[in-house]
Chains A and B, each alone.
Chain A
Amino acid sequence: MNDTQISQICLIIILIGFIGFLVFYKEEFEKITIQELINNEKITKGIISGKVEYVVKNFPSTILILNDGSKATIYYPKETTIQKNDFITAYVEKEKENNFYAYKVIKEI
């Protein structure tokens, strides 16, 4: 096998990768409101932002009530230092009604 052939394999891999990207890639999380996420049955995941209305617990996992105009209970499986009145952005998945599972919670500064 010579260098030209290996270079060609590299280009084929790039092409296959891009085809894979077009076929499999879909936007997983998009900005959404709590109300939209609750009402739209086709959407199960989204990025929600709002003010923390109440923190049930911070340790060993976090449960809080988020308000962006509508309210939702968010469960995040890690400890945090989030407090009442903090502004947060959460990458969530709908569990039931207004209960969401968070993959990631970011405190806005």
Chain B
Amino acid sequence: MIIFYLILGSIFGIIAGLTPGLHTNTIIALIAISPIFGKEIMVLVLSMSIVQTFVEFIPSTFLGVPSTTTFEGVLPAHKMLIQGEGINAITLTVFGGIIATIVGVLITPIIFLLLEQNQREIILITPIILLLTPIIMIQQEKSFRKKIISIFIIFIATTQGLIFSGQIFALITGYFGVSATLYSLKEKNIIKKQNTEINIENKITDPILGLIGGTIVAIIPGIGSNTAATIIKTFKLKIQEKNYLTMLGSINTANFFFGFITLFALKKTRNGAMIFLQDKITLTQETMILGIIIMVISAGIGGFATIQLSKIMINFFNENLTRKLNIISLLIMIFATIITGGILGIITLIFSTSLGLFTISKKVKRSLCMNSLIIPTLFFYLFILI
């Protein structure tokens, strides 16, 4: 039965990854209705989540349409696609994810002990990281004008986050999904014939940096994969596009990997899939070992499937098809927003899309919009600590 759920989860992960706007959390919401319990549901959720972290870079690269966790990678990946290096871009993210898994397994005992023995310190350090994050984001903008625009975006995003606090899906979809899709529909790029000879020259340091980022994302609420990438960029100034993609692939996978470890070490977690698992599994050592093994197998499946699928898709790829797929993905995102948030969800989506389009037009970092989660979370932590 374990193998059956592993295969089923991998198939769901591939579908969720290839469909822009469809997140594993949406599928998990449907699974929640089923009576499956224990290790079967854990295998299903873990394999689906890990496989999706690999596959979701395919639509991000080919369509220029991001998911909530890949939006910062869209620009470099889509840029590489225009230059004829689309498969190369996807392979780089796979490389990052695979290294994150291998190193992640090796350092799991250390991370587990660090988390378990420093629970109080984590609560104390969280608001400091949350406070520093928007400051780092503003500081990273090069001109004074862009710094002022960044402050304005942080203010608007925070306001939206506080007003639409129950509409996280609509907020994130508007900031990064709908706005990027509308923008890519407007843009007309001449895309070169794709190079099918792949050769990546990446250092192992980038995925390891990504691993640190993924650990931060797994522990600190309000921080997303892309925000973590922004923080890392501050400490490592010269990150090339290719290295950035490797790092983002690594952060994405490490986030889920250590989200699972955090659940066992702290008995709580911030990752949506893991919150769901919390009430469905027994938090014993045997369950954790099985979970790690499943994530390792799923990373292999996800990486292999992503490379093979990108090679297949490259044959069907053209500007016309991209445009059609963009429209379909736009409709899926709007439909998913209606399902998850109703009328208020659509109102939220209009506001968040407007802010997303504003950040694109002003050429500032779109991760600034994540302050709609970061600042309200900071307020929450200050409230419980004071």
Contact = CB atoms under 8 A, between A and B. Distances in A.
Contacts of A14: 297, 300-301, 304
B95 A11 contact: no
A74 to B, nearest CB: 14
Contacts of B21: none
Interface stretch (B64-72, B116-124, B149-157, B284-292): B284-292
Contacts of B198: 2-3
Contact of A24 (B284, B293, B297, B307): B293
Given A6-B94, A13-B101, A21 B282 contact: no
A11 B300 contact: yes
Contacts of A2: 197-200
B81 to A, nearest CB: 16
Interface in B87-127: 87, 91, 94-95, 98, 101-102
A39 interface: no
A91 B197 CA distance: 53
Interface stretch (A25-33, A53-61, A62-70, A80-88): A25-33
Nearest to B37: A106
Contacts of A1: 95, 199-202
A10 B87 CA distance: 16
Given A21-B293, A25-B290, A25-B293, A13 B307 contact: no
Interface in B9-57: 37-39
A104 B91 CA distance: 41
Interface residues of B, number: 37
Nearest to A20: B293
Given A17-B297, A25-B293, A3 B2 contact: no
Contacts of A20: 293, 296
Contacts of B38: 29, 91
Given A2-B198, A106-B37, A21 B300 contact: no
B287 A6 contact: no
Contacts of B95: 1, 6
B299 interface: yes
A43 interface: no
B282 A13 contact: no
B239 interface: no
A10 B91 CA distance: 12
Contact of A17 (B39, B94, B281, B293): B293
A10 B286 contact: no
Contacts of A106: 37
Contacts of A13: 98, 101-102, 296-297, 299-300, 303
B57 to A, nearest CB: 13
**Which interface residue of B87, B94, B290, B293 has the most chain A CB atoms within 10 A?**
B293
A62 to B, nearest CB: 15
Interface in B261-319: 281-284, 286-287, 289-290, 293-294, 296-297, 299-301, 303-304, 307-308, 311
A16 B296 contact: yes
B2 A28 contact: no
Contacts of B284: 28, 103
Contacts of B301: 10, 14
16 contacts: A1-B199, A2-B199, A7-B303, A7-B307, A10-B300, A10-B307, A11-B300, A13-B98, A13-B102, A13-B299, A13-B300, A14-B300, A20-B293, A20-B296, A21-B293, A91-B38
Interface of B: 2, 37-39, 87, 91, 94-95, 98, 101-102, 197-202, 281-284, 286-287, 289-290, 293-294, 296-297, 299-301, 303-304, 307-308, 311
Q: Which 10 A-B pairs have the closest CB atoms?
A: A17-B297, A14-B300, A13-B300, A103-B282, A3-B198, A10-B304, A10-B303, A17-B296, A28-B286, A10-B300
